[in-house]
Amino acid sequence: MSERNWRRRDLDRGKALAVVLVVAGHLVARQAPSGSGWGIAWYEPLRAALYSFHIPFLFYLSGYAAGWSGAAIVSGTAYRAMLLRRVRHWLLPALLLGVGVACAKVALDPLMPVDHAPASLGAGLLALVWQTGGSPAQSVWYLVVLFGLATTVPVLRRLTGGRTLPLLILCLPLMGLPLPPVLYADRFLPALPFYLAGLWAAEHDRDWCGFLDRAGRPLTVIFMGLLPILVLHAAHWPPVLTMLGASVVALPALHAMVRRLWLPALQALDRLAPYAFSIYLLNTVFIGLAKAALLQALPWQARSFPVFAPLLLAAGVLGPVLAARLWREMRAKAPLHRRA
């Protein structure tokens, strides 16, 4: 069975929204601004709330896209071809970005402030694949785990006779099972249920989307009511249970929202959607560059963080967009034989 080669606008909008939330969660890396006060006190609780549902939402959308396109049910030659495409589109960019970031951090560390700079190039390259909790390019973990899901889920579904719901139920107790931080394996099991939830929703696409459209408003109200609770308490609750509880509400609510948002908001997501992959891959690079530039004029302190936050957010979103557009223009101008 082959994959369909067309897209769903609501899924693309959802990924655009999710990566903007991811960027918002990356504004502070290892070293928090010094000092205390209102300037920074709001950010860590907000980030804890975001992490309770924005990554699950990304995996839900990825599972939905896999189910919608048919990638989750391929076998034989089509399965092998799918894996080759995923290696080219996910693993290769993850490897190139990881090596590039490690090299850049080692080179720039003596010259400017660098977050998560490895002690040496060898240590940085090793951390990309071993003890990956200390990886100098943390953002690549999503692509590695996504490749693992795309590889294993079609096989796992055969064990349950092609049924996704039993597999989803079976994997829930495994979410907290500790795996070693090698090739980001420790992040695989926490992501699996959300990927499978998206796959299950895609299998019941008409009924599920009908439910989202009918219940969109109450789902949004419930989600908005949950957000303040998450901001106040998510940082103090067990992460796995918090993700599960928050996602039961957040995932359908966010999916419903990107189907029926206020028109200008939908148009903004439509403009960002083609660059969602670039934003995810490159946002930390541009946040780091913007932070280094701002540090020439402002101290990294709590009282100046309200100035840093919107500028870093803009850099993390718009920088990758501009880089992707520049790359596409360069490829368009390149001779045909060089592009081939």
* Closest to 59 in 3D by CA, of 320, 281, 251: 251
Q: Is residue 2, in this structure, part of any structural domain at all?
A: no
Q: Is residue 155, in this structure, part of any structural domain at all?
A: yes
Q: Is residue 99, in this structure, part of any structural domain at all?
A: yes
Q: Is residue 182, in this structure, part of any structural domain at all?
A: yes
Sign of the CA dihedral with 103 first, then 104, 105, and 110 last: positive
Q: Is the pTM of this model over 0.85?
A: yes
* 112-136 mean pLDDT: 87
If one counts the domains in the chain, the total is 1
To which H or E segment does residue 159 belong?
helix 141-159
pLDDT tens digits for 134-192? Answer: 898 888 999 999 999 999 999 999 888 889 999 999 999 999 899 999 999 999 999 99
Q: Is residue 4, in this structure, part of any structural domain at all?
A: no
Three-state secondary structure call for residue 335: coil
**Does the pLDDT at position 272 exceed 60?**
yes
User: Could you give the angle at the alpha carbon of 60 between the alpha carbons of 54 and 62, nearest 5°?
Assistant: 105
pLDDT tens digits for 205-241? Answer: 999 999 999 999 999 999 999 999 999 999 999 999 9
* Closest to 260 in 3D by CA, of 302, 331, 211, 322: 211
Range of the domain at 35: 9-339
Q: Is residue 3, in this structure, part of any structural domain at all?
A: no
Higher pLDDT, 63 or 2: 63
